[in-house]
Amino acid sequence: MVTYKCLKSHVNEDKLIIRSSQVHKYHLEALKESSEVSKQTYGVVSKCPFSELDYFDVTRAFPPDLMHDFLEGIVPVVICHVIKALHSMHIVSLTDINAELDAFKIGRNDRSNIPQQLSQSVLKQTRLQGSAAQNWCLFRILPFLIGHYIPQGEVHWDIYLKCRAIGKVIFSPSIRKGVIPLLCQQIGEFLSDFQSAFPETFTPKLHFLIHYPRLILEFGPLKPLWCMRFEGKHQYFKRLSRNTCNYKNLCYTLSKRHQLRQCWELQSLDVLHQSNYTEGERLVPFRALSLDIQEGVSRKSGIVDIPSEEKLSVVSSLLTNNIKYTVDDNFIIDSVEEDIPVFVKIAKIVQFRGVWMIFGQLLIPKAFDRHYHAFKLEDQRTWIVVHPGEEKDYHALDSYVYDDNLFITLHHSVQS
């Protein structure tokens, strides 16, 4: 429990009094006597309606939301302040950033969330134009846009990199308990450096980071609990309300159209059987495949003598189990000691006797470049074959060539 005025004085939970159920009841009683005192002093506005439910504790039942807290709260503040500082020191201008963003060849998987051009308001306010997904995309590709302008060890850029390190952990689908103490240390260092560099700015959402390690221990990984999927569902209704232009009884229009759509989708057997969807399918004789792929098919299927005339389906893209695999995409196939990911770059997607196989080349990180917060890769020229679903993480990743080096930046850490 902490007031807004003393937010800056805390970078961890050690000296904070966490609001408990008993303390919250006391604040509610104080609210009855003097609403102004309670609102300003304790941050309590009213009694939560959910408190009427059995076994519900308002102080322990609400997990944080990474989308609103981090992507829409912390990321814009950090990016805007860092860009403003770099601009004022004439390291990189806003015009340079927009020119780099316009010329940057963004990968296929990031293309649906291309960040918008930065307006002059970035230098005056702490807001970014665009959605949370666009903020996340800009947050990840920013080093490829301006990293070459910035000298190694630049103080303000180091604040961005520390924020990236925190984001890589809190967005992970699985987090080991042993990582939590390190996360506490990273958050403390980030908040201290941010306050030193930008003493005039500190928001409640930056303070929320202090509580994340404890909340992760209570709720588990936080990404499955965020609002991104709910907001994605809302997009359907937002588009529908604009397209229908019917505001006489909007609730009735939206509910009826949504129910009709649900009926149409649920009457399809594909919803239950999860059929595979492919693109660019063609039949290829076994003998037409390269020797590496022929050997991989034989080894993976356990069939040695495959007739050379037998035809296999070769596709450019496969959607199965709600995961899309496309030629030239990169997937994390494994992680080794110190949680170093091993990647596979898809070269062929083949169906042999009803079984899908993915062929690709192994990519091993030769270094983690902290300045670009990305793995610098080395092509092993080694072919591997896997079945769909054997990958370590379902996110399809884009690779970027920068300074004659191949880089991949992660959405989150993948722990072994």
Determine contact, residues 72/192, Cβ cutoff 8 Å.
no
Same domain, 134 and 48: no
Same domain, 221 and 286: no
Whether residue 61 lies inside any domain: the answer is no
Mean pLDDT over 141-151 rounds to: 95
The secondary structure of residue 397, as a DSSP letter, is B
Q: How far is CA 42 from CA 18, 60, 209, 211, 405, in A?
A: 12, 17, 20, 17, 53
Altogether, the residues listed in the chain come to a count of: 416
Picking from 362, 294, 358, 284, the residue whose alpha carbon sits closest to that of residue 327 is 358
Same domain, 401 and 284: yes
Same domain, 242 and 304: no
Evaluate if residue 363 carries a pLDDT over 80.
Answer: yes
The full DSSP string for 105-161 is: ---TTTGGGPPPPPPGGGGTSS--SS-HHHHHHHHHHHHHHHGGGSPTT-HHHHHHH
Same domain, 76 and 103: yes
Whether residue 415 lies inside any domain: the answer is no
Whether residue 220 lies inside any domain: the answer is yes
Whether residue 57 lies inside any domain: the answer is no
Mean pLDDT over 293-308 rounds to: 90
Around 277, how many Cα atoms within 13 Å sit in the side-chain half-sphere? 9
**Domain endpoint, select from 267, 288, 318:** 267
Determine contact, residues 360/382, Cβ cutoff 8 Å.
no
Domain ranges, residue 148: 66-225
Whether residue 272 lies inside any domain: the answer is no
Predicted local distance difference test score (pLDDT) of residue 44:
87
For 197, the token pair is: 């560099």
Picking from 201, 194, 115, 128, the residue whose alpha carbon sits closest to that of residue 161 is 194
pLDDT tens, position by position, 302-356? 888 899 899 999 999 999 988 999 999 999 999 887 789 999 999 999 999 989 9
Evaluate if residue 273 carries a pLDDT over 60.
Answer: no
Same domain, 238 and 297: no
For 366, the token pair is: 């030769």
- Name the pTM for this structure: 0.90
279 vs 337, higher pLDDT: 279
Mean pLDDT over 240-256 rounds to: 89
Same domain, 308 and 390: yes
Same domain, 77 and 214: yes
Confidence band of 415 (pLDDT split at 50, 70, 90): confident
Q: Note every long-range contact of 54-60, with CB atoms under 8 Å and residues 24 or more positions apart, other chains counting.
A: 57/21, 58/21, 58/24, 59/19, 59/20, 59/21, 59/23, 59/24, 60/21, 60/218
Same domain, 178 and 249: no
Q: Is 119 exposed, middle or buried (0-12, 13-18, 19+ CB in 10 A)?
A: middle
CA angle, residues 255, 256, 258, in degrees to nearest 5: 65
Whether residue 60 lies inside any domain: the answer is no
| Count of structural domains within the chain | 4
Predicted local distance difference test score (pLDDT) of residue 125:
78
Mean pLDDT over 65-75 rounds to: 95
List the CATH number of the domain containing 387.
2.30.30
For 217, the token pair is: 């221990």
**Percent helix / strand / coil, the chain, rounded to 5:** 50, 20, 35
Confidence band of 272 (pLDDT split at 50, 70, 90): low
Same domain, 287 and 371: yes
Determine contact, residues 1/16, Cβ cutoff 8 Å.
yes
Picking from 61, 394, 395, 78, the residue whose alpha carbon sits closest to that of residue 225 is 61
Pairing of strands 374-386, 405-408: antiparallel
Q: Note every long-range contact of 332-339, with CB atoms under 8 Å and residues 24 or more positions apart, other chains counting.
A: 332/391, 332/392, 332/393, 332/395, 332/397, 332/410, 332/414, 333/362, 333/384, 333/386, 333/390, 333/391, 333/392, 334/392, 335/392, 335/414, 335/415, 335/416, 336/416, 337/416, 339/413, 339/414, 339/415, 339/416
Same domain, 47 and 73: no
Picking from 58, 72, 70, 51, the residue whose alpha carbon sits closest to that of residue 187 is 70
pLDDT tens, position by position, 159-212? 999 999 999 999 999 999 999 999 999 999 999 999 999 988 888 899 999 999
Evaluate if residue 132 carries a pLDDT over 70.
Answer: yes
Same domain, 196 and 102: yes
